[in-house]
């Protein structure tokens, strides 16, 4: 099968940072689906792993954590899917990724793809939708349909996770949603997705919020640059507020949260698959709910840039674009 991978951690400008490969077709385990991949998207985790996790000597690593495709075969214990079905998923951190013609994925973290979206548009959704859903409902424990009178601040509202988090919060809760964005285009993007207000994260957050008529917030989703905003996050949170983090600050002094009794939550969508948790199938179930919301016209795809077919040259361009920090919504690729 065709695939794209790497043999060493190199700057994305290097010719061999990502390479076109030919690899053996994988064989499904008991709970696996063998999926012929039609489209993928590129996430910041792709960039982090490619830059920092070297494969074993002489081996190639294939990454990628979003896919849409057709089930070609199923393992002996698979019960929910059959060959020929169109599915979408984000995969697992400890298995070969979606940048390949064929991929194995555990059925518990898979759902049928939204019928109303083409492959590339659907591929933009799984990883960010799982992350946003788990952050909102599993970590912050916001009640479905609730949250009236409370304000959620989304730092990095125009990014991949922010773009779907704004929509989920507006569609499934009564929270007031405030997003941060620094450019006219990203500001409008957040408003179009449903944010009640948008502030500029280049300003002190507390000052920007007050300028928007908001004295304090009840919860913060820190999706990017948490370390840079940390003091301001604490200042703008109400006593007994909540902070959920998804990025990787080098240090985070939790003692600073004590005075206000602020609770700290980490969200990593790979936890369930990494540890084979008893509720691992919740990811497949929530993706099915996201697909239903999409097909009902309540949630839209966050795909914003299509970089063409899935090959090394186009994936290098996509990784470079993600590294630049200029991405709005999601970057997608389709076909081999």
- Note the pLDDT tens digit of each residue in 82-112: 999 999 999 999 999 999 999 999 999 999 9
Q: Residue 327 pLDDT more than 90?
A: no
* 156 touches 224 (CB < 8 A): yes
- The domain boundary, picked from 266, 293, 317, lies at 266
For residue 329, the SS3 value is: coil
The reply to whether 275 and 260 lie within a common domain is no
Residues 144 and 243: their CA atoms lie apart, in Å, by 19
**Which of residues 266, 286, 310 is at a domain's end?**
266
Q: CA 12, 65, 325: angle at the middle one, nearest 5?
A: 45
Strand-pairing partners, residue 333, are 40
What average pLDDT does range 34-40 have in this prediction?
Answer: 98
| Confidence (pTM) | 0.96
Asked whether the predicted pLDDT for residue 165 surpasses 90, the reply is yes
Q: What confidence category does residue 295 fall into, taking pLDDT thresholds of 50, 70 and 90?
A: very high
User: Do 260 and 292 reside in the same domain of the chain?
Assistant: no
Domain that holds residue 96: 2-125+271-334
Of 8, 3, 87, 98, the residue nearest 45 (C-alpha): 98
pLDDT at residue number 39: 98
153 with 246, same domain: the answer is yes
| DSSP-assigned beta bridge partners for residue 15 | none
Note whether 185 and 281 are same-domain residues. no
Q: Which two tokens stand for residue 163?
A: 């773009």
**The pLDDT of residue 219:** 98
**Average pLDDT value for the chain:** 97
In sequence order, the β-bridge partners of residue 154 are 179, 221
Q: How confident is the model at residue 129, as a pLDDT? A: 98
Which of 212, 233, 266 is a domain's end point?
266
* Number of residues that this document lists for the chain: 336
Looking at the structure, tell me whether residues 157 and 172 fall in a common domain.
yes
Number of domains in the chain: 2
pLDDT at 325: 87
Residue 222 confidence class, pLDDT cut points 50, 70, 90: very high
**Residue 91 shares a structural domain with residue 114:** yes
Q: Are 36 and 81 in contact (CB under 8 A)?
A: no
- Regarding whether 232 and 139 lie in a shared domain, the answer is yes
């Amino acid at each position: 099968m065709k695939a794209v991978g790497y043999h060493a951690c190199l700057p994305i400008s290097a010719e061999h940072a990502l390479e076109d490969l030919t690899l053996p077709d994988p064989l499904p385990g008991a709970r696996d689906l063998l999926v012929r991949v039609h489209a993928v998207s590129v996430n910041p985790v792709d960039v982090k792993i490619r830059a920092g996790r070297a494969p074993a000597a002489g081996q190639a690593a294939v990454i990628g954590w979003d896919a849409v495709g057709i089930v070609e075969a199923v393992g002996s214990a698979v019960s929910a899917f059959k060959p020929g079905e169109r599915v979408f998923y984000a995969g697992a951190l400890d298995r070969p990724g979606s940048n390949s013609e064929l991929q194995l994925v555990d059925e518990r973290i898979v759902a049928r793809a939204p019928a109303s979206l083409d492959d590339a548009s659907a591929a933009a959704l799984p990883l960010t939708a799982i992350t946003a859903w788990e952050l909102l409902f599993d970590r912050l424990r916001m009640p479905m349909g609730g949250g009236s009178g409370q304000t959620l601040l989304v730092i990095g509202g125009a990014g991949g996770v922010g773009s779907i988090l704004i929509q989920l919060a507006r569609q499934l809760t009564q929270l007031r949603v405030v997003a941060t964005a620094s450019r006219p285009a990203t500001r409008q993007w957040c408003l179009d997705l449903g944010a009640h207000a948008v502030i500029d994260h280049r300003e002190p957050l507390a000052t920007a919020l007050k300028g928007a008529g908001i004295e304090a917030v009840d919860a913060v989703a820190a999706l990017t640059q948490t370390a840079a905003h940390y003091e301001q996050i604490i200042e703008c949170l109400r006593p007994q507020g909540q902070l959920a983090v998804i990025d990787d600050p080098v240090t985070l002094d939790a003692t600073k949260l004590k005075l206000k009794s602020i609770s700290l939550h980490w969200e990593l969508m790979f936890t369930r698959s990494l540890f084979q948790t008893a509720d691992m199938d919740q990811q497949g179930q929530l993706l099915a709910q996201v697909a239903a919301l999409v097909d009902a016209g309540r949630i839209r795809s966050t795909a914003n840039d299509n970089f063409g077919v899935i090959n090394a040259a186009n994936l290098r361009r996509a990784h470079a674009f993600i590294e630049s920090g200029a991405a709005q919504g999601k970057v997608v690729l389709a076909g081999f």
